[in-house]
């Protein structure tokens, strides 16, 4: 069996396991009870979508801050590219990096941003975003322990955070050392062809660009700070739904649910769409906070409704943009 076929089979297996877990969780809480909770919160979904658009705007600012001044696209342009990237990552089974690759491509092809800068800013944005998310998860964990006194989740989450910090720290180090030139050098040696030697030069250019991005401390600080603001705004989505469902919780409760559940979802990233995983996170954390199971599942399902409400139009816009570009290229080729 080819490697690509094995990868697809593994993705399907994780997806099937997640779907089965999702079905079991909803069945245990009662389809009618979960459906009733979602029906109660139907108008809150509009508020969730509005807050997520604000969160996306913050993500766009965080990415924008990493560009050098002379190559910085308009903020609104990065905003809709970020929207398309998230839509792809959420709804297309291409792994989480699929949307990030597309937004780098859009920045380079549609707006003339040099490819090393487009790719380098996305790479740095991902790295700094993961680091900030780990900090956010630890903040939520601290609030959870303070609010409930339960410490049974502390060990696993701290272990996961330590692994995450080690992984992202190692990824940062290899970026600073020049990972892309090394990759190009290895490929060119294996290919034993002069045609592949350009990979070394292009890889070195990308390495230099990434180092320059990280050397702009102000851009790095703004990116991390605004990403943290974005995560807090996303917590407001949870808080709104809780309030509408009759759970008069504090904003800290929404932050705890968002941060710890997000950490669980990130730890089990191989499951496509985190189906079943996200629901489990909300149930476990919600139980510790005294939130009924049907309400916790309704929270998760409403967030998935939001993903569809924003993601489907994002995919349509992406296809229109790509189709328009291909049409223009075909017209130019026939002249």
Alpha-carbon gap, residue 133 to 210, rounded angstroms = 21
Please state the pTM of the whole predicted model. 0.82
Averages of pLDDT over runs of 10 residues in the chain (335 residues) are 55 60 62 64 78 92 94 91 90 69 87 86 90 87 79 67 73 72 53 48 76 92 94 88 80 85 69 68 81 80 84 90 79 64
Q: Are 185 and 200 in contact (CB under 8 A)?
A: yes
What is the pLDDT, as a whole number, of residue 222?
95
Q: How close are the terminal C-alpha atoms of the chain, in Å?
A: 45
Alpha-carbon gap, residue 64 to 76, rounded angstroms = 10
Q: Domain containing 117: what range?
A: 3-334
CB burial string 237-258: b at 16+ within 10 A, e below: bbbbbbebbebebeebbbbbbb
What is the pLDDT, as a whole number, of residue 260?
77
| Contacting residues for 244 by C-beta, under 8 A, at least 6 apart | 40, 41, 43, 44
Q: How many CB atoms lie within 10 A of CB 110?
A: 15
What is the pLDDT, as a whole number, of residue 59?
95
**Cα-atom radius of gyration of the chain, to the nearest Å?**
21
pLDDT tens digits for range 248-288: 778 888 888 888 777 777 666 666 666 766 777 788 788 88
Handedness of CA 20, 26, 30, 31 (dihedral sign): negative
Total domains in the chain come to 1
Closest Cα partner for 264 from 95, 123, 79, 140? Answer: 140
| Contacting residues for 254 by C-beta, under 8 A, at least 6 apart | 235, 236, 237, 238, 239, 240, 242
Tokens found for residue 233: 């705004």
Q: Are 142 and 151 in contact (CB under 8 A)?
A: no
Q: Are 197 and 188 in contact (CB under 8 A)?
A: yes
């Amino acid at each position: 069996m080819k490697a690509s076929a094995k990868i697809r089979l593994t993705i399907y297996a994780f997806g099937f396991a997640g779907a089965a877990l999702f079905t079991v969780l909803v069945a245990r809480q009662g389809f009618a009870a979960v459906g009733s909770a979602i029906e109660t919160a139907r108008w809150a979904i509009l508020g969730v979508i509005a807050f997520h658009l604000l969160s996306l705007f913050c993500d766009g600012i965080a990415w924008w801050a990493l560009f050098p001044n002379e190559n910085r696209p308009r903020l609104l342009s990065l905003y809709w590219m970020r929207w398309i990237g998230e839509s792809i990552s959420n709804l297309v089974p291409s792994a989480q990096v699929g949307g990030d690759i597309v937004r780098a491509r859009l920045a380079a092809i549609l707006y003339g941003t040099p490819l090393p800068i487009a790719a380098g800013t996305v790479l740095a944005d991902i790295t700094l975003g993961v680091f900030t998310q780990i900090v956010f998860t630890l903040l939520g964990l601290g609030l959870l322990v303070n609010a409930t006194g339960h410490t049974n989740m502390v060990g696993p989450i701290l272990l996961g955070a330590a692994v995450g910090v080690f992984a992202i720290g190692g990824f940062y180090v290899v970026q600073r050392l020049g990972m892309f030139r090394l990759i190009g050098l290895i490929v060119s040696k294996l290919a034993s062809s002069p045609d592949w030697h350009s990979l070394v030069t292009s890889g070195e250019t990308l390495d230099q660009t990434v180092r320059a991005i990280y050397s702009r401390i102000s851009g790095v600080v703004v990116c991390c700070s605004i990403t943290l603001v974005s995560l807090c705004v996303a917590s407001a989505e949870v808080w709104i739904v809780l309030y509408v469902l009759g759970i008069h919780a504090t904003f800290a409760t929404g932050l705890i649910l968002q941060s710890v559940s997000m950490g669980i979802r990130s730890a089990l990233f191989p499951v496509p769409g985190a189906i079943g995983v996200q629901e489990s996170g909300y149930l476990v954390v919600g139980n510790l906070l005294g939130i009924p199971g049907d309400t916790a599942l309704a929270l998760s399902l409403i967030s998935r409704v939001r993903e569809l409400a924003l993601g489907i139009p994002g995919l349509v816009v992406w296809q229109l943009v790509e189709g328009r570009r291909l049409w223009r290229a075909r017209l130019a080729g026939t002249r």
